[in-house]
Chains A and B, each alone.
Chain A
Amino acid sequence: MTSKTAPSTLSFLTGGIAAQAVKDSFKKFHPKLLVKNPVMFVVAVGSLMTTVIVVQEPSAFNLQITLWLWFTVLFANFAEAVAEGRGKAQAEALRKNRSQLVARLKTLAGERSVPATQLKKGDHVICETGDVIPADGVIIDGIASVDESAITGESAPVVRESGDDRSSVTGGTKVLSDRIVVRVSSEPGSSFLDRIISLVEGSKRQKTPNEVALTILLSALTIIFLLVVATLPAYVQYAELASGQTGGALTSLPVLVALLVCLIPTTIGGLLSAVGISGMDRLIRKNVIATSGRAAEAAGDVDVLLLDKTGTITLGNRMAANFFPADGIQPRYLADAAQLSSLADETPEGRSIVVLAKERYQLRGRDVSEVAGHFVPFSAHTRMSGVDIPKEGSGEIERSIRKGSADAIKKLIAGLGGSFPKELQTVVDEIARKGSTPLVVAENALVLGVIELKDIVKGGIKERFLQLRQMGIKTVMITGDNPLTAAAIAAEAGVDDFIAEARPEDKLKRIRDEQANGRLVGMIGDGTNDAPALAQADVGIAMNSGTQAAREAGNMVDLDSNPTKLIEVVETGKQLLMTRGALTTFSIANDVAKYFAIIPAMVGGLYAASPDSPGPLSVLNIMQLSSPQSAILSAVIFNALIIIALIPLALRGVQYRAIGADAVLWRNLLIYGIGGMVVPFVGIKLIDIIITALRIL
């Protein structure tokens, strides 16, 4: 984790955020907000009832119980407010950026100025140097360098250009040079920036499916304990009748409410929404915007990751390393043809061929305009690129040079009546086996030779995949390479599976197949042809540098456009779920100690031999708490303070380690299960010692 994204708990509590959170936690006492959290709502109702009792029968005990009950609600509110605080601050900053923008709307007559808020989908706007792009859109004309720091926080400008995968622009970013015409692609109020603001702010936060399920469970536990506490006075009444003594037990309303609040899962109930919000927040700090909490949660469940080889597994730039001419072809002729066909190829591979030809055979890289040829760009379907050079002075094509995968060229040659030299097939296989990419060059029906493109696997990626495997996640590498090449790279990188010679529809099919087998699929993509697969995947992360279509299709956007980010997203999702489970376990395990504190305090006096002696059940007071009142108060105070104590954990999340499920479980069970049983015994005893020493009862 870099220092830029390292979460620090302290930063949540600094300056304005803390002050704002305190203010907000009082606002959250509004019944409309409280009722959304059933557990805390019950606590609030209980507090209200004891408040009435305090007014009627004021006593030090009743007053303190009531105060701590209110604190319990307040602390839960505070946890949520702190979690929201950071997001709000970030949203505020984004809003300021947007300020009052004026757009230059292109009309038939020329252009006129309109407020950005009035732009509709389909409008064309003009942006020139210094203008802030008023809305999300697609560049339909021109090229510009754009400062996207308002969205990504990255100050280096990026180039945006019409007609390719980098044609989309985001409202709120600034044009640094040149002039572009943008077709607006979002309705007012629903632009990318608007969406980010509302997501960051958490204003439209909806409970995720798992959060809903957990809330149901917590509500059920609350109802059970409500029944337990509500029936207790009847049982005690029987006991008092049977023992012929009255007043042997403490069953005043404040005591019963205290018992109830201690038993119901207030710890997780109070921290649940903070856990959810901070999970989203952790994603945001990794510069990933999830369009819903659902996506963040699903990330933890991903079983299969589809990863593009290029950029994710390899450095992205395959470099030409060697020319292997076919029998009877001069190496220089092959290099020349290769260079010619690559002149218009702006990809790093293409450029590396030009450079290699220059280095080996002193072939100067000619300018595109010098060659009066027609360049054929690479397409995913033909999987070839090249150049057609006409005969001087006539339209007839003299040299048709193609470079592409061996299969594609074979097919082409066969179609033209040529044949693929046998000895070259050996070279092709040999190159592929090494994990490099063979690129076959042909002129008309004649195969000239092979270029070896070397792929460089990213450092540390193998360890990353090993971790994923331990987490139970299968990695599938997607590549346009032939199967041999793909297999070699897959082995070097340590992925579980690969799809070679993949077309966009193969990606989609693979996702559907995995899903049909019950697996959840995550993928990352940028191009327009990735959009269907991104939409189909359970977790689809679009790169911010990608097309508008891709960004719309995915359910997350990675502002850094870093393909490896997918792995971090999965980890964050898992951390979110683990934190929920750990806090729930802790909360329930706490009840054991609380029973041992409160039950003896309530019924310890029953069946006593004489009014002065303790009853037989007082032996259950194994913590030796000093008095029934201090026992009950200590439990309530512990219950309230544990919420505050666990806020950092809720915000930071349970520490995640890429180890198998069994090991993770043991670890968390020991800390939060066993710990959850032991900690309250110690805590309640300590509080009892303190309040006894203070003589506040």
Chain B
Amino acid sequence: MITVSELIQLMLYALALFLLTPPLGKLMAMVFRGERTFLTPALGWLERVAYRVSGIDPDKAMDWKGYLWSLLSFNAFGFAVVFLLQFFQSSLPFNPQQLPDVSWHLAFNTAVSFMTNTNWQSYAGEVTLSYLVQMLGLTVQNFVSAATGIAVLLALVRGIAGRSTGSIGNFWADLTRSIVYLLLPLSIILSLFLVSEGVVQTFSGSRTVTTLEGVQQTIPLGPAASQVAIKQLGTNGGGFFNMNSAYPHENPTPFSNFLQMLSILLIPSALVYMFGAMVNARRHAWVVWGVMFFLFAAGVTLSLWSEYTVNAVTGVGGGMEGKETRFGVANSILWSVATTAASNGSVNSMHDSFSPLSGTVAMMNIMLGEIIFGGVGAGLYGMMIFIILTVFIAGLMVGRTPEYLGKKIESFEVRMAAIAMLLPSAGILLFTALASVADAGLAGLNNQGPHGFSEILYAFASTAGNNGSAFAGLTANTPFYNTLLGINMLIGRFGVIVPMLAIAGSLAQKKITPLSSGTFPTDTFLFGVLLTGTMLIVGALTFIPAQVLGPVAEHFLMLNGKVF
């Protein structure tokens, strides 16, 4: 049974998230409007230096194509840097452990993974990548990939709020401001807290020590705290160590665990508030937030129930297999739901060892498109797909052609939303089908039966959703998986970004129809119900057959006394 202390911790978490959302959201709205905030005296120089060095005029307005072009070329550059750093790491400095060059397919996979804010890791960080790659390659991408997500959301905000204009802002200014005023200060504060709790931050290599049992053990070290902070805040999730936040040097105490969990959802949640403030639809934003929170809470509840239900085979409820004793069941479940809801992908326990239904919850969170709070920026702009669908279908039922916050939703927007919905789903379904029948795909499995299928499905869902968490149990560092998963991440990221920016550009040109009592209301409880329904029906219908053959089959087999 769940304990009272666990319940209190869950509630504290929800309360902290709820209380921090408005102030941070308000601050972001001011920052991205280019207004002066209390941070300007301290950090304004950094923004100005960044513009001067790169020769950017932050006030130059871009149309959506210009914005997209800047975004794509910036990401392509980031990809090239990370790829080359890995490919030649043995000849580069800051490699105390003399790690060899990374294979092309792993380098490709990892470069894509960090550029797309996925942070899928086919490798074990501490024994594969040098400190230089981790810091100059991965940590930099952890910042800029999160900032890219925020930029796309900001473009969408301006599209919705703009009146008959072609401009959706300036990509470089959005990128710079989100790093300078948001990600950088927050991650400095968080890493200081983490260091105080015992997360390591050092440039020395691994230590080999003799344990009390007299066995030699290698203790990996490194500049972890700084990367852990941004991995959580930027919903990146890529651990410095292979064990991610289950490893004591990455996540030592219950308090560091609480801070890390909070920082997973903090920015995505505040972005919803910021959205409401910037498009002047605060009630609507709270409804969207409510939908996200409801689905999050429902996921936690279902997982906990499933986890604490006595397992038919082992006869144990609340099993600790794959979980850390310092966190316990509730905090492991809370983390797993948060990390999959938010496109983070870091773990503090092994999802592979959860009860099948907890696995389903994690997987459904990802398959819905990482929109329950979701990735930084990506969560809300992904949610926009479902909002557009809801507005379109249900909006017709009030007898007007659909409109969203005063903007008409017409065939162009529907087409783009359909593409954004279609591409990641196609990636998950088709690649899973390929991997589950191809020899190269089956070779990577460490488990049998429906569980093996779940592992494959999870891997492709996780990469298409740019989540990056793994079910574990799948050996993915092969040319087959590295390539397919890499392509899948690209589809999942840019297959949504490109259509969303197109929607932003199209909406920006439209007039705003004033609200009337005949307008489809988007700020009511009913809209929340409709949005939830659309997400669950349209989103889930796509993956029901696959889920049935994976975790659901496993669940019923477990009830019959069979495990994998």
Contact = CB atoms under 8 A, between A and B. Distances in A.
Nearest to A472: B518
B429 A231 contact: yes
A620 B418 contact: no
B521 interface: yes
Interface stretch (A58-66, A117-125, A582-590): A582-590
**Chain B residues touching A, majority SS:** helix
Contacts of A217: 389, 392-393, 414, 418
A639 to B, nearest CB: 15
A487 to B, nearest CB: 23
Interface in B533-552: 533, 537-538, 541-542, 544-546, 548-549, 552
Given A474-B516, A518-B512, A606-B553, A234 B437 contact: yes
Contact of B559 (A212, A214, A303, A616): A616
A223 B542 CA distance: 11
B2 to A, nearest CB: 27
- Give the one of B414, B520, B530 with max A CB within 10 A: B414
Nearest to B453: A238
A603 interface: yes
A19 interface: no
Interface stretch (B126-134, B171-179, B184-192, B444-452): B444-452
A573 B396 CA distance: 11
A556 B517 CA distance: 26
A578 interface: yes
Contacts of B542: 224-225, 228
Contacts of A662: 521, 524, 526
Interface stretch (B95-103, B210-218, B405-413): B405-413
Contacts of A660: 517-518
Contact of B553 (A214, A616, A656): A616
Contact of A607 (B395, B437, B449, B513): B449
- Give the one of B401, B426, B430, B530 with max A CB within 10 A: B401
A695 to B, nearest CB: 30
B411 A212 contact: yes
A669 B394 CA distance: 8
Contacts of A578: 396-399
B315 interface: no
A661 B526 contact: no
B474 to A, nearest CB: 14
Interface residues of B, number: 68
A303 B399 contact: no
Given A580-B396, A585-B394, A216 B415 contact: yes
B425 interface: yes
Interface string B93-128: 000000000000000000000000000000000000
A45 interface: no
Interface in B255-273: none
A176 B346 CA distance: 87
A49 interface: no
B519 interface: yes
B399 A656 contact: yes
Interface stretch (A83-91, A498-506, A523-531, A591-599): A591-599
B511 interface: yes
Given A589-B537, A591-B541, A238 B553 contact: no
A588 B397 CA distance: 14
Interface in B421-455: 421-422, 425-426, 429-430, 432-434, 436-437, 442, 448-450, 452-453
A239 B553 contact: yes
Interface in A170-223: 209-210, 212-214, 216-217, 219-221, 223
A676 B240 CA distance: 49
Contacts of A666: 526
Interface string A236-253: 111100110000000000
B514 interface: yes
A228 B545 contact: yes
B549 A518 contact: no
A228 B429 contact: yes
Contacts of A620: 548, 552
B36 interface: no
A609 interface: yes
Interface in A557-598: 573-575, 577-578, 580-582, 584-585, 588-589, 591-592, 595
Q: Name the interface size band of chain A.
A: 35 or more
A518 B521 contact: no
B401 A664 contact: no
B69 interface: no
Given A236-B549, A585-B393, A599-B548, A574 B400 contact: yes
Nearest to B447: A242
A469 B402 CA distance: 19
B140 interface: no
Contacts of A225: 541-542
Contact of A519 (B422, B513, B521, B538): B513
Nearest to A620: B548
A155 interface: no
Contacts of B544: 595, 599
A520 B403 CA distance: 13
B512 A220 contact: no
Interface in A296-348: 297, 300-301, 303
A669 B411 contact: no
B560 interface: yes
Contacts of B77: none
B537 A616 contact: no
A239 B432 CA distance: 13
A582 B450 CA distance: 39
Contacts of A638: none
B294 interface: no
A517 B514 contact: yes
A665 B514 contact: no
A235 B398 contact: no
A681 interface: no
B357 to A, nearest CB: 14
Given A217-B389, A471-B518, A584 B559 contact: no
What are the nearest 4 A-B pairs in CB distance?
Answer: A472-B518, A581-B396, A574-B399, A472-B516
Given A592-B541, A662-B526, 19 more contacts: A209-B411, A210-B396, A210-B401, A213-B413, A213-B414, A216-B411, A217-B414, A231-B429, A238-B442, A239-B453, A243-B449, A519-B514, A573-B399, A577-B396, A578-B398, A581-B394, A581-B396, A616-B553, A661-B517
26 contacts: A213-B411, A227-B430, A228-B542, A235-B453, A236-B549, A239-B450, A239-B453, A239-B549, A242-B450, A243-B449, A263-B541, A471-B517, A473-B516, A517-B511, A518-B406, A577-B400, A581-B394, A585-B393, A589-B537, A592-B537, A607-B553, A616-B553, A617-B553, A660-B517, A662-B526, A668-B398
Interface of A: 209-210, 212-214, 216-217, 219-221, 223-225, 227-228, 230-232, 234-239, 242-243, 263, 297, 300-301, 303, 469-474, 516-520, 573-575, 577-578, 580-582, 584-585, 588-589, 591-592, 595, 599, 603, 606-607, 609, 616-617, 619-620, 656, 660-662, 664-666, 668-669, 672-673
